[in-house]
């Protein structure tokens, strides 16, 4: 109910108050312990995956994917002529590689808020 009240109190709810997501970048940077320059927010992972792969992949490049996978990695890699290599990081007990983004200029770590917080939604038939 608080969300509805907050949304109802907005003077112009259809206008983005922070189109570059600076406040979100700052909050995430603080939480993750990295500079906000390393953060890119988007309208869903599929938009970011597509954008990133279009910008950085050349035919024949290899992409490491960490299943369980979101199919857009493999789809967008194929569209750009790259090969997907799969690695199961989340269930391996290995520490997050978020800190590696400073060490490797070709490393991109995509995380969703739901997976980071361990949240999920189940839709049951009515």
Are 98 and 32 within 8 A, CB to CB? yes
Please tell me the number of Cα atoms within 13 Å of 12 on its side-chain side. Answer: 4
pLDDT given for residue 30 in this prediction: 92
Q: What is the pLDDT of residues 59-93, one digit of tens each?
A: 888 877 666 567 777 777 888 888 776 655 555 56
Phi, psi (rounded to 5 degrees) for 89: -80, -45
Q: How far apart are the first and last CA of the chain?
A: 23
For residue 63, give the 3-state DSSP assignment.
strand
pLDDT given for residue 115 in this prediction: 53
Assess whether pLDDT exceeds 80 at residue 17: no
pLDDT given for residue 43 in this prediction: 79
Segments making up each domain of the chain, as ranges: 1-41, 44-111
pLDDT given for residue 120 in this prediction: 43
Q: Of all residues in the chain, what percent are helix, strand and coil, respectively (each to 5)?
A: 40, 5, 55
Beta bridge partners of 62: 83
């Amino acid at each position: 109910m608080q969300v509805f009240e907050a949304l109802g109190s907005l003077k112009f709810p259809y206008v983005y108050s922070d189109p570059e997501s600076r406040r979100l970048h700052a909050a995430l940077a603080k939480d993750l312990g990295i500079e906000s320059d390393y953060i890119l927010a988007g309208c869903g992972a599929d938009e970011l995956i597509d954008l990133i792969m279009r910008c950085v992949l050349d035919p024949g490049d290899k992409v490491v994917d960490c299943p369980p996978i979101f199919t857009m990695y493999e789809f967008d890699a194929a569209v750009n002529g790259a090969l997907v290599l799969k690695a199961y990081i989340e269930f391996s007990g290995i520490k997050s590689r978020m800190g590696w983004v400073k060490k490797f200029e070709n490393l991109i770590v995509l995380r969703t808020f739901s997976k980071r917080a361990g949240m999920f939604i189940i839709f049951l038939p009515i």
